Structure 1
Amino acid sequence: MYRRLGGLWRLEPGYRHFAVRPDFGCGLTWVRTRHETVYGTAAVFWTRKSDGLTLEVTVPAGTTATVHLPGPAGNVRLDGAPLELGEGVSGVATRDDEVQVTIGSGTYTFTATLMGPRKVDLTM
């Protein structure tokens, strides 16, 4: 469950770097999951409504994560501010129909305005 629905994917040993790529199109309106890593707890909580979603991510100390969200970067906010102004953000990239945000340790709340159905590629 933590992989498919919550989207927690190990990219480096021990989850030193991991991806957060939830399945927002799974038919559920919310998911809460966590995974105990050697660095601490990695956690995801997301909710989806008809016009958007909220994603809370906890990244353990000493680790980083790349968060995948639907839509262009202009539709995504971090703690109420544009992504580029978010504290703890070390990179923002747009690929196809998603934005990828690299963050350091801490807890972050992302909001995204949805533009329509999103197909999720679960191959990593």
Structure 2
Amino acid sequence: MTEWSPAKVLFTCAGVAGAMLVLPPAADAAETQPVLVHASPQNECKLNVRAGSDVGSTLLGTLNCTNYTTCAGTAADTPCGPYVTGGQYTCVGTDGKQVTDNRWAEVTWRAPQKSYVAVACAVFRS
């Protein structure tokens, strides 16, 4: 007959508990990570966050070149996409030229409420 000492019982229980330990799966390298958005220097470091996808929508806040918000969309081929087609706006694009566009990106400014930024006026960072 096997004699069970307190040390053997503890060791056996620890072994069983360790065998049952389930670790979460490691993050997949191909998994899409959230994209950050902020204002560009070409627009005097100002990027408006609006309640809708047009310039007449309520202004919720203004991002600058050093504060960011997270994009709601995570399309792998389009930063902060998929984009929403909305009202037209103008700003200075990242190439320094005047841009007129109607693409808006949804951001998580005040989740769960939807919020948007003008795509052509923004800088996206992975």
TM-score (normalised: structure 1)? 0.22
Structure possessing the higher radius of gyration over alpha carbons: 2
Higher share in strand: 1
TM-score (normalised: structure 2)? 0.22
Higher share in helix: 2
